[in-house]
Structure 1
Amino acid sequence: MTIPHARGPISEGLFRLLAGSPGDDPAAVGTLQDLAAAQLPLVDDIIDDGDMQLSLFCLYELHYGGLDGVTDRWEWNPGLIALRQLLEEPFEQALRDAARPYAGTDCAGADHAGPDQPDSAAGLDSDAVADLLFAIAAQEGGPGMSRHVAKRATLKQLREFLIHKSIYQLKEADPHTWAIPRLHGRAKAALVEIQADEYGGGRPDRMHSTLFARTMRGLGLDDRYGAYVDAVPPVALASVNVMSLFGLNRRLRGAVAGHLAIYEMTSSRPNQLYGNGFRRLGFGAAVTAYFDEHVEADAVHEQIAGRDLAGGLVESEPDLFPDVLFGATAVMAIDARLTQHIMGAWDDGESSLRAAIPAAA
């Protein structure tokens, strides 16, 4: 991925550091850590802070495809790992605070309209875990993006919609794949089954990321991974960073399972509506194949993810039940914030992006 433009002092310092090699200036990483530590108390909302989210996004990217011109020796540099953990701690706490209303209590601990949840996993079988996750998935998270796309979205809005999704969809499945070696038994088998479909069942042309890239090209968009990082708001980066946070920290493997379960449970019907929206404006199968694929696949995946992945994990490791719920409710919270940002801009007749994009060819 091409290094994006900095959004503040931390990302600016990070990119300057990554331009060299780990041994060039041994004190530079410590200086950057000190800068981040000084900046964090000044941040009102880390989920909506562009500097923090972009810095985390690029630190995580070192573990994926890397950054253009940056040596791979930075990936496991102890100083950068420490910097990442410094940013992760308040980000995780903000996610827990944002997710709490979807778990049945608000941030002050008062009763909320969310589904009732047991205090522990004692006595819960995989079906009970899945039923609880389906109840969480059924909550209304905000304005209906899929309904708007199906019935009213303009071509310009459809292009913006794809740009927001591209930050994750062009590497779809990769963040959740980190969890495979961290699970065992029924949960591991379930995750591998889901991921095999995400990666096209052995056919590169059927990989979901490949299908999404074709959709982007159909609307005249750049399908290179990371091409639109500069254009999206911080919450769009946060929605991907939460997956990497869960996937790259073994202690949060329960959150990965809950996150993926909700992703699958809230996918099939919206993707049907998304496909209808593109068909409404005259686009054919080459553009809608990505959405049509998810209508069928995720109707199956939601059961596997809820009962065998998340439910099977809780049956084998009951102590992970709270983290499964955390992962599930974090999806609801972040997706609701991103949807509210996009829909709010559109309702005001404005672009939901930070920067203008060229008109479709």
Structure 2
Amino acid sequence: MQVPEPRGPISSGLINLLAGDPSADPAALTALHALVAEGGLTIGDALDEDFQLALFCLYELHYGGLNGVDDRWEWNPGLIGIRHLLEEPFEQWLRSEAGPVIASVRPAGEGNPDSDAVAALLFNLAARDGGPSVSRHVAKKATIGELREFLIHKSIYQLREADPHTWAIPRLTGRAKAALVEIQADEYGGGRRERMHSEMFARTMRGLGLNDSYGGYIDAVPAISLASVNLMSLFGLNRRLRGAIAGHLALYEMTSSRPNQLYGNGFRRLGFGTDVTGYFDEHVEADAVHEQIAGRDLAGGLVEAEPGLLEDVLFGAAAVSCIDVRFASHLMDAWENGRSSMRQPVPATA
């Protein structure tokens, strides 16, 4: 993807560093490390624009990379150290947000549940009040301009849908591994490119005259949109958080089917056909099946095999719930007050 515009001293220093040779003078790398380490980052900085963009760029080195950036930066020890300095306050903030949510569905002192009980806990968590409903607004009221903004926010993940969860496959065994592979095979279209969910989302974007290249709107989306993707990368790229990525995917699937039905209805309301609504319609059916596999076989199977991961499974599920509430509040606050939800204007489209 294109290299984004910096949003502060950390992302500016990182982007300048990545423009150079990773085998050259390490002075710039040392200076950036000192900037981050001495900056006193706390959990209060977790949704800062500069913070989230820098973390996003560091994670992107493990995916498709950044245009013009040397691939050798991916495993540069100095950059990994900087990434850890950014991950720590982000994870602390996520745990502080998720704690009360977990407590609401799992009383302290309960023993380790079996796979069905794990799924029940996750379904209870999914049924909690999620704050303002973007899907109902899209179904009944959203303008074409708001629909475009919605797609742009979502494109930061949906144009590479499923990739962060795939990191977990080699870290699981047995029942949980088989369940994740089954889900991911569907996400990747069963081997047919045109059925890959990322490709289907790209068609939806084109249907509204939007740029469907990955990261094409990176400079327009706010920190909360980046945080929702960084959350997945944090869980997927750290083996110690394999329980969290399983819980994340389980809740993702459990809270997907009905909202996607409403999203599809909203686009149909404004006259769009199956080339646009196909992505949402696909998820109505697929995720109704995936939620059972993800809850019982993936998350539940993982906890049965490794009981010590129960709390992380619940943490991953609660964390995505908390992020989604903040994302929905951001969108609805902007739209209900006649403002754009983007950081900067997006050019008008056909």
| 1:326 and 2:315 are equivalent in the alignment | yes
Q: Between Structure 1 and Structure 2, how many residues are aligned?
A: 350
Q: Deviations over 1:276-314 (max 9, x none)?
A: 000000000000000000000000000000000000000
8 Å contact from structure 1 (residues 120, 321) kept in 2: no
Would the alpha carbon gap of residues 349 and 235 (structure 1) be closer, same or farther in structure 2, given more than 3 Å must change?
Answer: same
AA partner of residue 5 (structure 2)? H
Decide which of 248, 263, 268 is 2:237's aligned counterpart.
248
8 Å CA contact 1:117, 1:132 repeated in 2: no
SS in 2 for 1:251: helix
**Equivalent AA in structure 2 for residue 98 of structure 1:** E
**Residue 90, structure 1, aligned to residue 89, structure 2:** yes
Q: Is the 8 A contact 2:48 2:223 kept in 1?
A: yes
1:169–1:217 distance in 2 versus 1, CA, 3 Å: same
Q: Is the 8 A contact 1:137 1:262 kept in 2?
A: yes
Determine if the alignment matches structure 1 residue 152 to structure 2 residue 141. yes
Identity %: 71
Counterpart of 1:173? Answer: 162
For residues 290 and 144 of structure 1, the distance between their equivalents in structure 2, rounded to whole angstroms, comes to 20
In 1, the alpha carbon distance for the partners of 2:40 and 2:199 equals: 38
8 Å CA contact retained: 1:47, 1:234: no
Runs of 4+ aligned residues of structure 1 deviating over 4 Å after TM superposition are none
CA distance in 2 between partners of 1:66 and 1:260 (Å): 24
Given the alignment, which residue of 184, 187, 199 partners 2:188? 199
Cα separation, 1, equivalents of 2:181 and 2:87: 27
Does structure 1 retain, via aligned residues, the 8 Å contact 2:126–2:254?
Answer: yes
CA offsets 1:192-235 (integer angstroms, 9 cap, x no match): 00000000001000000000000000001000000111101101
The offset of 1:118, in angstroms, is 5.1
Distance (Å, rounded) in 2 between the aligned partners of 1:217 and 1:121 = 50
Q: Matched residues in 2 for 1:213 and 1:117: separation?
A: 43
Q: Where does 1:226-237 land on structure 2 (aligned, <5 Å)?
A: 226-237=215-226
- Quote the residue 2:48 is aligned against: 49
**C-alpha distance in structure 2 between counterparts of 1:197 and 1:46, whole Å:** 37
Mapped contact 2:46–2:89 kept (Cα < 8 A): no
Q: So what's the TM-score if we normalise by structure 2?
A: 0.98
Paired residues of 2:158 and 2:198 also in contact (CA < 8 A): yes
* Pair 1:13 & 2:3 matched: no
Matched residue type, 1:143? P
Matched residue type, 1:179: A
Could you say which residue in structure 2 is the equivalent of 1:81?
80
- How far did residue 46 of structure 1 move? 2.5
- State the distance in 2 between where 1:5 and 1:248 align: 25
Q: Which residue of structure 2 lines up, in the alignment, with residue 110 of structure 1?
A: none
Q: Distance in 1 between matches of 2:294 and 2:223?
A: 28
Q: Match of 2:332, as an amino acid?
A: M
RMSD, aligned α-carbons: 1.0
Say whether residues 1:268 and 2:267 are aligned partners.
Answer: no
Offset of residue 44 of structure 1: 6.8
Contact 1:143–1:340 (CA<8 Å) still a contact in 2?
Answer: yes
Q: Deviations over 1:15-37 (max 9, x none)?
A: 10000111112222121011012
Unaligned runs of 5+ in 2: none
Gaps of 5+ in 1: 105-113
Matched with 1:209 is: 198
